């Protein structure tokens, strides 16, 4: 088996610490967005009565985000089962994928805590359910971008595999074009609503009252834009590939099979 290259994941702790280091200030900044809006002279009277103006800690967290994001994109490494695309956009998508993986862990931790509090301590929280829904929304959006970069989105190959490479290129072009058109239409139709929800910081209307509408609606437009860019990037990168043919064996991870064989062989020797 070939040794991993410098661009392939070595399981380094840095690959997990950087996404976590990015999530912490990002979560703080998202929660404190009304303070930034007020500091910049925007917002409503009700927002001013409810939220404090952004302070030094808030601005430091905001300033740290582009540096942590750049560090994450620079240090991210491709795992052995991931698609070999280490372009700038590919690295961004992979890093966002790593952030998504951390968010899944956070989501499970929040749900586990709520189960413990509800059924063991018998003191359910007022925030865990809405926080879980909020995090799950981000996971859903971010994983879509990662899936596009990894070419792991749902694709039906029955007709595609029967075509020559020229026909496959035409299908790929039509697919990318449809994604771009959809993104443009969604941004055109949804920008006004997303803009209004963000500036008035629309919340969920519950006891915890997280700003799910104010955050997820704009993020839908951002992620859909990135998905469209990634689709075009995939089209350009895959243009000169050999004709594609898919079988059920494509889903098999040969490295995992070898590991299982070694484990079984080790058990047989015992």
Within-domain flag for 48: no
**What domain range includes position 241?**
78-269
Within-domain flag for 23: no
Within-domain flag for 30: no
Residue 154's pLDDT is 73
Residue 270's pLDDT is 46
Within-domain flag for 241: yes
Contact (CB, 8 A) for 68 and 18: yes
* Secondary structure (DSSP) of 193-240: HHHHHHHTT----SSS---HHHHHHHHHHHHHHHHHHHHHHHHHHTTT
Residue 254's pLDDT is 65
Residue 16's pLDDT is 84
Residue 85's pLDDT is 73
For residue 231, CA distances in Å to 127, 145, 181, 202, 220 come to 37, 9, 12, 31, 16
Within-domain flag for 144: yes
For residue 16, CA distances in Å to 37, 64, 137, 263 come to 31, 17, 21, 27
Q: Rounded to whole angstroms, how far apart are CA atoms 130 and 107?
A: 11
Q: Tell me: the pLDDT tens digits for 98-116?
A: 999 999 999 999 999 999 9
Q: Rounded to whole angstroms, how far apart are CA atoms 32 and 26?
A: 10
Within-domain flag for 117: yes
The number of folded domains in the chain is 1
Predicted TM-score (pTM) of this structure = 0.84
Residue 1's pLDDT is 37
Q: Rounded to whole angstroms, how far apart are CA atoms 211 and 197?
A: 9
Please count the CA atoms within 13 angstroms of the CA of 22 that sit on its side-chain side. Answer: 25
Largest Cα separation within the chain, whole Å, is 74
What does the pLDDT profile of the chain (270 residues) look like in tens digits? 333 444 555 557 777 899 999 999 999 999 999 999 999 998 888 888 999 999 999 999 999 999 999 999 998 887 777 777 778 898 999 999 999 999 999 999 999 999 999 999 999 999 999 999 999 999 999 999 999 998 887 777 778 888 888 998 999 999 999 999 999 999 999 999 999 999 999 999 888 999 999 999 999 999 999 999 999 999 999 888 777 766 655 656 666 677 667 777 655 554
Within-domain flag for 39: no
Residue 253's pLDDT is 61
**262 Cβ contact list (under 8 Å, min separation 6):** none
Q: Rounded to whole angstroms, how far apart are CA atoms 189 and 69?
A: 29
Q: Tell me: the pLDDT tens digits for 44-67?
A: 888 889 999 999 999 999 999 999
Q: How far does Cα 38 stand from its chain's mean position?
A: 29
Within-domain flag for 28: no
Phi, psi of 78 (to 5 degrees): -75, 130
Residue 248's pLDDT is 55
């Amino acid at each position: 088996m070939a040794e991993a290259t410098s661009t392939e994941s070595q399981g380094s702790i840095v690959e997990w610490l950087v996404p976590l280091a990015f999530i912490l200030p990002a979560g703080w900044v998202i929660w404190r967005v009304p303070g930034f809006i007020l500091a910049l002279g925007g917002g409503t009277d009700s927002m001013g009565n409810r939220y404090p103006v952004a302070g030094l800690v808030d601005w430091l967290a905001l300033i740290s985000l582009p540096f942590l994001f750049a560090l994450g994109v620079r240090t991210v490494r491709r795992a052995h089962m991931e698609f070999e695309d280490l372009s700038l956009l590919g690295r961004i998508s992979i890093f966002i994928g790593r952030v998504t993986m951390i968010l899944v862990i956070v989501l499970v931790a929040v749900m586990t805590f709520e189960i413990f509090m509800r059924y063991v301590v018998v003191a359910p929280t007022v925030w865990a359910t809405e926080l879980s829904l909020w995090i799950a929304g981000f996971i859903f959006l971010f994983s879509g971008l990662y899936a596009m970069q990894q070419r792991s989105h749902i694709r039906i190959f029955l007709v595609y595999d029967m075509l020559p490479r020229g026909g496959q290129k035409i299908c790929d072009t039509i697919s990318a074009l449809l994604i771009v058109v959809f993104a443009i239409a969604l941004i055109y139709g949804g920008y006004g609503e997303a803009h209004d929800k963000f500036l008035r910081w629309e919340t969920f209307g519950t006891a915890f009252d997280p700003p799910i509408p104010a955050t997820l609606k704009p993020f839908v437009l951002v992620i859909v834009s990135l998905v469209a860019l990634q689709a075009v990037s995939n089209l350009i990168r895959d243009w000169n590939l050999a004709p594609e043919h898919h079988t059920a064996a494509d889903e098999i991870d040969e490295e995992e099979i070898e590991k299982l064989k070694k484990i079984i062989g080790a058990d047989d020797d015992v």
